[in-house]
Amino acid sequence: MKDERIVLALKSVAPGTPLREGLEQILRAKTGGLIVIGDTAKIMEVVEGGFAINTDYSPAYLYELAKMDGAIILSEDGKKILYANAQLIPDPAIPSAETGIRHRTAERVAKQTNALVIAISQRRSVITLYQGNFKYSLSEVSVILNKANQAIATLEKYRAVLDKTLMRLTNLEFDDMVTLLDVAKALQRVEMVLRIEREIERYIWELGSEGRLISMQLEELIANVEDEGLLIIQDYSLLGPEKTPEGILGLIRTWSSEDLLDYSLIVRALGYPGSASILDQPVSPRGYRILDKIPRLPVTVIDNLVQTFGNLKSIMGASIEELDDVEGIGEIRARSIKDGLKRLREQTNFTL
């Protein structure tokens, strides 16, 4: 929830938005500014004086009004300028680490009302966002682009390692030689890639219209990653249906980077005991992840296969007739499952 609001705040001031255009004009004119987004009762409690404007927002108008002292109040959707030249009177007891009056006021109003408050510094040429306890200074587009490109380069490396790890897991699964350590390694690598993805997403929101290329690169690099993670969990989790794969991956997401390095924590999240030797334990996949790679095989049929045979090894060992007996599978599909599994196995042997 908290994160969502920050994302919304970053999006609302991203390059290409009318609000950002107005902020940039104020920055260039070096007049400074203090802008509050929203006019809820809670916000209006701290607003005093000024005059009602009540007109459609435009960047040029915002910039004109910023020449005056005091704060400007915009509507929640940013489409109207409601008041200008207003005095903000937040509770002075609210702690603030800011030294200047404008920024201290902005921080206190944000903490008191939860509104998005934007301070544009006259002396330092910086735009700072405040919302609740969150504070964020916008950087220049070139700086963020640089960071985003570095993160993409890191993501490429991590993706390559993940692909190797998954390929190895597939190979071990076909040979029924998987240990819990292999499962934990694969899940850890999935989450590492997802973490870099989330970091880059934040840059993309902040870059707005300037982030399109990064966004396209990201999409290509993270295709399937989350699904692979969910399917691994489906293959190995010992937990009942109340712990969904999404829930388990969501739990791993909340861990610190140190915890993520601990393989035994990962297998514990899948419902295995946390003993030291557990990682050497052999395990057999149910087969969800590999069956998902067979073209045109519906999820319900995959479910029926796993329900009937229990694991990938038995599914691979089943005859055409046995496969044919499963609901949703006729002779043609039975053959395409057999062929599909055979082809996948050959492909992984070839790639490794």
Binding residues: 70, 88, 101-105
65 lines the binding site for ligand ATP (CB under 6 A):
no
Q: Specify the stretch interacting with ligand ATP by CB under 6 A; choose among 14-22, 65-73, 245-253, 322-330.
A: 65-73
Which of 3, 45, 56, 69: binder of ligand ATP (CB under 6 A)? 69
From the CB of 184, what's the least distance to ligand ATP, in Å? 50
Q: Please, which residue, 84 or 341, has the CB nearer to ligand ATP?
A: 84
Task: Write out the two tokens for 297.
Answer: 């095989």
46 lines the binding site for ligand ATP (CB under 6 A):
no
Task: Write out the two tokens for 252.
Answer: 């791993």
Task: Write out the two tokens for 237.
Answer: 């989790």
Q: Specify the stretch interacting with ligand ATP by CB under 6 A; choose among 37-45, 66-74, 215-223, 245-253.
A: 66-74
From the CB of 97, what's the least distance to ligand ATP, in Å? 12
- What are the backbone angles phi and psi of residue 311, rounded to the nearest 5°? -155, 170
Q: Specify the stretch interacting with ligand ATP by CB under 6 A; choose among 73-81, 101-109, 139-147, 246-254.
A: 101-109
In terms of Cβ atoms closer than 10 Å to its own Cβ (0-12, 13-18, 19+), residue 331 is: exposed
At residue 136, the 3 state secondary structure works out as strand
Q: What mask of x and - would describe binding to ligand ATP in positions 119 to 138, judged by CB under 6 A? A: --xxxx--------------
Angle at 304 between CA 302 and CA 308, to 5 degrees: 120
Which long-range contacts link 301-310 to residues 24+ away (Cβ below 8 Å)? Answer: 301/326, 301/327, 301/328, 301/329, 301/333, 304/328, 304/329, 305/329, 305/337, 310/286
Q: Please, which residue, 70 or 340, has the CB nearer to ligand ATP?
A: 70
11 lines the binding site for ligand ATP (CB under 6 A):
no
C-alpha–C-alpha distance, residues 88 and 271, integer Å: 53
Which of 23, 73, 102, 229: binder of ligand ATP (CB under 6 A)? 102
Q: Please, which residue, 137 or 146, has the CB nearer to ligand ATP?
A: 137
From the CB of 148, what's the least distance to ligand ATP, in Å? 28
C-alpha–C-alpha distance, residues 29 and 62, integer Å: 12
Which of 40, 54, 55, 87: binder of ligand ATP (CB under 6 A)? 87
DSSP assignment string, 214-269: HHHHHHHHHTTHHHHHHHHHHHH--S-TTS-HHHHHHHHHTS-HHHHT-HHHHHHH
Q: Which residues contact ligand ATP by CB under 6 A?
A: 32, 34, 69-71, 87-88, 100-103, 105, 121-124
